[in-house]
Amino acid sequence: MTSPSVLDVEDLTVEFRQSRRTPPLRAVNKVSLNIAPGETVGLVGESGSGKSTIGRAVLGLNPVHSGRIHFEGRDITRASARTRRGLSARLQVVFQDPYSSLNPARTIGQTLAEPLLAHSRTDERPIGQRVAAMLERVGMPADTADRYPGQFSGGQRQRIAIARALMPEPRLVICDEPVSALDLSIQAQVMNLLADLQRDLDLSYLFIAHDLPVVSHLSHRIVVLYRGQVMETGPAGALYTFPVHPYTRALLAAVPQPDPRAQRAQRARAGQRTASSPSAAASPRGCAFAHRCPHAIDLCHSERPPLLPLTGGRAAACHRSTELHPLPAVPQSQPHT
Ligand SMILES: Nc1ncnc2c1ncn2[C@@H]1O[C@H](COP(=O)(O)OP(=O)(O)O)[C@@H](O)[C@H]1O
Ligand SMILES: [Mg+2]
């Protein structure tokens, strides 16, 4: 990669200690990902796969067991609270539920001005004008600044939460399920807004969601996570139209189809086993997905497949990916990978 990454996460491992007697829960297991300037990387996986834990580790809200996190070239893995405060303008977050993240007792104008009061510079336009311009930029009416969060719908509150995140002019915004609680039509509007803002402001996003179509709509590249491990990565369009890993295929098959016959056909194509719970025991040595995988062989239960590069900037952690779902052959001129 030629341009330096905005975010570079290398072999990130996060553990949570539950009690003294049980071993710690490894919520994130050696995850690596990077995000270029102006790029959206989608992080997808079912509930409990460790998506939010990765986002929170980047934000300094979860302790890192091992691995490295670099932001704008700087190691922030164990940054002090003071360093974090300095970073907060460049590294922002939008959560799923804007109501709990917007203070109900403060006007929208007060909430949006807050991050600027901390780092105000005298050479800038008055804060009130900047608040009004940002609210307009996210498609909110002019009188929004004088009103309270409770006076707005879910979609409007998410626009306000996005405006607040963008006020200090960040470089990277971690979007943790920002549209998951919204109606489908509102989801599309908010995603289009995020895409417009990215183009205009040269933002990078780590876009977290459990829904693969949603993630692929907005992302340039996708990282598929299962039980804290990367199962597959690649450019969004290619990964969505031709998923290689059986888990990615199962995620796609789980997307509801309006027509039951289409749904059955989709599930059959994916070869998905039914009634398999994500919390069922997995072999600690083998592939995390083996106990749910219709294609698992003995090797899958005894040896964890490494994340191996395929063609077209893709990679999958599956012993059988090239045999089951072969991608077009590697061009001869390709540099060794
Ligand atoms: N603060 C915490 N303490 C203990 N366990 C946690 C904590 N945060 C997350 N977990 C556990 O880590 C796993 C991953 O959670 P999370 O990152 O929230 O998943 P996702 O966002 O993909 O739904 C889950 O098993 C969850 O219960
Ligand atoms: Mg989450």
Ligand that comes closest to the CA of residue 56 = 1
Rounded to the nearest whole angstrom, what is the distance from the C-alpha of residue 238 to the centroid of ligand 1?
Answer: 29
Ligand that comes closest to the CA of residue 96 = 2
Q: Is the CB of 49 under 6 A from ligand 1?
A: yes
pLDDT number for residue 262 = 65
- Contact at 8 Å (CB) between 148 and 102? no
- Contact at 8 Å (CB) between 228 and 239? no
Closest Cα to atom 9 of ligand 1: 53
Closest Cα to atom 17 of ligand 1: 50
Is domain 7-219 in CATH 3.40.50.300, yes or no? yes
Ligand that comes closest to the CA of residue 177 = 2
- Give the atom of ligand 1 at the shortest distance from the alpha carbon of 50: 17
Ligand that comes closest to the CA of residue 15 = 1
Q: Is the CB of 48 under 6 A from ligand 1?
A: yes
- Give the atom of ligand 1 at the shortest distance from the alpha carbon of 208: 21
- Give the atom of ligand 1 at the shortest distance from the alpha carbon of 225: 22
Rounded to the nearest whole angstrom, what is the distance from the C-alpha of residue 157 to the centroid of ligand 1?
Answer: 25
Q: Is the CB of 28 under 6 A from ligand 1?
A: no
Q: Is the CB of 16 under 6 A from ligand 1?
A: yes
pLDDT number for residue 117 = 80
Q: Is the CB of 52 under 6 A from ligand 1?
A: yes
**pLDDT under 50 in the chain at which residues?**
1, 272-280, 334, 336-337
pLDDT number for residue 46 = 95
Rounded to the nearest whole angstrom, what is the distance from the C-alpha of residue 27 to the centroid of ligand 1?
Answer: 6
* Segments making up each domain of the chain, as ranges: 7-219, 247-324
- Give the atom of ligand 1 at the shortest distance from the alpha carbon of 55: 17
Q: Is the CB of 55 under 6 A from ligand 1?
A: no
Closest Cα to atom 5 of ligand 1: 16
pLDDT number for residue 148 = 97
